[in-house]
Chains A and B, each alone.
Chain A
């Protein structure tokens, strides 16, 4: 039943956001907060809600498949930009991994925590895999992955505008690299082109992280 409330909140937020572009009305954020409040008020445990909303989470898979259509439609643009696309994702992947390890060591974090933090920019099923291989805690990783995605969904377009990045392919690549699927949901709203660059950037950042995370790990530990 509460799943219906989630859907209504989402649709309502979409309308509200169209009229007043406030951070509060960003649909995912509004729906998540509204649902949490509803669950608390009705004292429904999260596991019950998660079970009844599996219809929504199931649709995530087919929606990723649907990105194939966007890829087909935008192929000419991607082929043209393939080198800057891959090089910028690879650079960002390496710099983020190095930075997380360096800060972690500097703040004297236990190695399990560093392993848990390492893959937080990539899509959750693969992030969990990376964390497990490095003996981190996958439950914490998945919380962080969602939080990072949500942050990207809410703030990435504003931040990019502030940084002076307005080029659709560059924006999409940046959003997908920094904030995977949830960020991609926002990128699709900007344009088809930003959407597909974001979706593909999510995929390639995940691939690069799977390859680079163990290598960088070896260098430090």
Chain B
């Protein structure tokens, strides 16, 4: 019993520590966002801070790795309440709905196509010059 409990507490501690660091950096980013002259969400600033801290060895990767992986695996879940919001606000586009939906789907597919093909195309061109 004791032998099983210790690793469990350790994993728990690692997760809580990682999670704490990430949330702290998020709040720091939110705090800094108003001071930056262009619109950038606090979470993106937090992401840059976390990356910088890892790069400069201020935070070891092992401290945040597990918590990050866990959070990222639930990314889609955190969007669900916004998605549910469509239920109330779809009326907003009703008047123009058909062309708007067509444009939305069209540009999304086009973006996938453009980026997917240009990425490999540009990569080949650049490789040729190097």
Which residues of B have CB within 8 Å of A126? 39-41
Which residues of A have CB within 8 Å of B107? 96, 99-100, 120-121
B90 touches A125 (CB 8 A): no
- Which of B61, B81, B89 is close to A72, meaning CB atoms less than 8 Å apart? B61
A87 at the interface (CB under 8 A from B): yes
Which applies to chain B's interface (DSSP): helix, strand, loop or mixed? helix
C-alpha gap A139/B68 in the complex (Å): 31
A88 touches B72 (CB 8 A): no
C-alpha gap A35/B79 in the complex (Å): 12
A216 at the interface (CB under 8 A from B): no
- Given known A62-B71, A117-B100, A159-B112, contact A170–B55 (CB-CB < 8 A): no
- Which of A64, A113, A121, A149 is close to B47, meaning CB atoms less than 8 Å apart? A64
A83 touches B76 (CB 8 A): no
Q: Interface residue count for B (Cβ, 8 Å)?
A: 76
- Given known A36-B87, A85-B119, A143-B92, contact A69–B112 (CB-CB < 8 A): no
B77 touches A46 (CB 8 A): no
Closest-by-CB residue of A relative to B105 is A151
Interface residues of A in 54-98 (CB under 8 A from B): 54, 56-57, 59-73, 75, 81, 83-85, 87-89, 91-92, 95-96
A167 touches B80 (CB 8 A): no
B98 to chain A, nearest CB (A): 11
B122 touches A63 (CB 8 A): no
- Given known A70-B68, A95-B110, A100-B107, contact A186–B76 (CB-CB < 8 A): yes
Which residues of B have CB within 8 Å of A129? 39
List the 4 closest pairs (A to B, CB-CB), nearest first. Answer: A68-B50, A185-B76, A84-B122, A64-B43
- Chain B residues proximal to chain A, CB less than 8 Å: 19, 22-23, 25-26, 29-30, 38-44, 46-51, 54-55, 61, 64-65, 67-69, 71-90, 92-93, 96, 99-101, 103-123, 126
Q: 14 more A-B contacts (CB under 8 A) besides A10-B80, A139-B92, A177-B112? A: A27-B77, A46-B87, A68-B54, A84-B118, A88-B115, A117-B103, A120-B107, A125-B39, A142-B85, A143-B93, A152-B108, A163-B116, A165-B112, A182-B83
